[in-house]
Structure formats: C-alpha cells, structure tokens
Amino acid sequence: LAKTTQPISMDSYEGQEVNITCSHNNIATNDYITWYQQFPSQGPRFIIQGYKTKVTNEVASLFIPADRKSSTLSLPRVSLSDTAVYYCLVELFNDYKLSFGAGTTVTVRA
C-alpha cells in the first residue's frame, strides 16, 4: 500500500501559483510530511517539512488540514527554473530511510 499519492504531472505558466496535493490516508501520529525537489541530473533537495497546519519558508508553503490525511505544497509565482519533479514523503522526523515515489513532474512554460 503506497504511503503517498500525488499527481503524475502538472503544467503551469510563469508567474502562476502551483499547488500540488498529496494524499496520505494512513499517516501515523509520529509521521512528518516532507517535500523534496529534484531537477534533471541532480540529487533531490529538501524544500519544506511540516506536521500540521501551515508552514512557510522562502521557497514554498505547506498546508496540512487537521486530519493530516493530505497536504498541499504551494509554489508562489513559479518561473521556468521551477520545472522539476516534486516528491511528497511521509516519514518519521529523524528517519533517513527515505522512500521516494514517482513524484509530480511540474512543467512551467513561458
């Protein structure tokens, strides 16, 4: 049973806001929600992590409803350089055994 489910791909245009929703119906009490970004031929890069409600940093915002069965990564005003694969992970806070699924390929067009 997959831990997370997210769309395979999303298209957007420069300057738009991109919202990627991830379902994690079986999230456990001690699990955190973490998002990574991966550019072609690069390793993944940590974007944001949260447990509940809303988390914001200089790159993105993460919205987590009270039941924590889903989460939404919000990328404000995307640019061409935001074209990448975005992964949603549900893991223990200190867990290093990360398991990445297929992710969501976000393509930003001019």
Partner 1 sequence: NAGVMQNPRHLVRRRGQEARLRCSPMKGHSHVYWYRQLPEEGLKFMVYLQKENIIDESGMPKERFSAEFPKEGPSILRIQQVVRGDSAAYFCASSPPTAQGITEAFFGQGTRLTVV
Choice between 1 and 97, CB closer to partner 1? 97
Which listed residue (65, 100, 107, 109) binds partner 1 by CB under 8 A?
Answer: 100
Binding piece for partner 1, criterion CB under 8 A, among 11-19, 67-75, 76-84, 89-97: 89-97
DSSP string for 46-96? EEEEESSEEEE-SS-EEEE-TT-SEEEEEE-S--GGG-EEEEEEEEETT--
Between residue 12 and residue 51, which ones bind partner 1 under the rule CB under 8 A? 34, 41-46, 49
